[in-house]
Structure 1
Amino acid sequence: MNAVIYHNPNCGTSRNTLAMLRHVGIEPEVIDYLAHPPSRARLIELIGAAGLSVRDAIRQKGTPYDALGLGDPALSDDALLDAMLAHPILINRPFVQTALGTRLCRPSEVVLEILPPMTRPFIKEDGEVVDAGQRS
């Protein structure tokens, strides 16, 4: 199965998601979205395919979200997308796309919805266990 992950190597959730992809035998295309942000069209495609609003796809923690006044509910999707493209750290992470769908994988276990079943347990960086038998 092919997969793409929009990855931030400094993010534990992103690292765990990448590790889960590899755990089930998928070597994804890894895109460091901070160094190589998606185009506007690709970002819109990812957000839509994940079933999110543009606002749902914005990261607030550790970003210039407040300084840029992005909490203003009157801001249009276009204005929010402009900010995300100008400051890629505002793009929430990690987005993963496989043949089974696209998800914003927060928490990292969300990736299980678009992966083949795990056949053995997986231990995350923070020690939580993801058991294939607990998937819904």
Structure 2
Amino acid sequence: MKATIWHNPNCGTSRKTLAILEEAPGIELTVVEYLKTPPSAETLARLYRDAGLTPQQGLRLRGTDAEERGLPEADNSTVLAAMAADPILIERPLVETDKGVRLCRPQEKVREIL
């Protein structure tokens, strides 16, 4: 099974999720350090749609200026554009497999799509 994780190596939850993926048998893993290689607004829209989340639910508030910028109340396209331009606004980690997409907070949520 193929799996892609949008990963931040400085995040403990992201590291723990990555470890679960690395230990899972039969996983062909792609690791994307999204702060270095940000996903496009279109990719984010697809990931959130497939995860059953709104872009606002995927917005990282802690340690960002998202609230000061009014992003929690902004429309989807504004939030997605802000995330694509400033990927620190993306809550992590996002994981995609053949079985779906999850925002893996807590990290155990990744098991739902393995």
Q: TM-score, structure 2 length as denominator?
A: 0.93
Which ranges of structure 1 fall in alignment gaps of 5 or more residues? 116-136
Write the distance in 2 (CA, Å) between the matches of 1:82 and 1:108: 26
Partner of residue 58, structure 2: 57
The one-letter amino acid of 1:14's match is S
Query: Is the radius of gyration larger for structure 1 or structure 2?
Result: 1
Partner of residue 118, structure 1: none
Q: How many residues align?
A: 113
Counterparts of 1:2-13 in structure 2 under 5 Å? 2-13=2-13
Conserved? CA contact 2:58–2:90, under 8 Å: yes
> 4+ residue runs of structure 1 moved beyond 6 angstroms?
none
State the 1:54 CA deviation.
Answer: 1.0
Write the distance in 1 (CA, Å) between the matches of 2:102 and 2:79: 19
Secondary structure class of the residue paired with 1:30: strand
Write the distance in 1 (CA, Å) between the matches of 2:71 and 2:97: 30
Partner of residue 90, structure 1: 89
Computed over aligned residues only, the root mean square deviation of the Cα atoms, in angstroms, reads 1.1
Counterparts of 1:1-136 in structure 2 under 5 Å? 1-25=1-25, 26-71=27-72, 73=73, 75-115=74-114
The one-letter amino acid of 1:104's match is L
State the 1:29 CA deviation.
Answer: 0.3
Identity across matched positions, percent: 50
Which ranges of structure 2 fall in alignment gaps of 5 or more residues? none
State the 1:101 CA deviation.
Answer: 1.1
Secondary structure class of the residue paired with 1:28: strand
State the 1:70 CA deviation.
Answer: 2.0
Cα distance per residue 1:18-57 (max 9 Å; x no partner): 0001111324100000110111211111010000011101
Write the distance in 2 (CA, Å) between the matches of 1:62 and 1:6: 18
Higher helix share: 2
Q: TM-score, structure 1 length as denominator?
A: 0.79
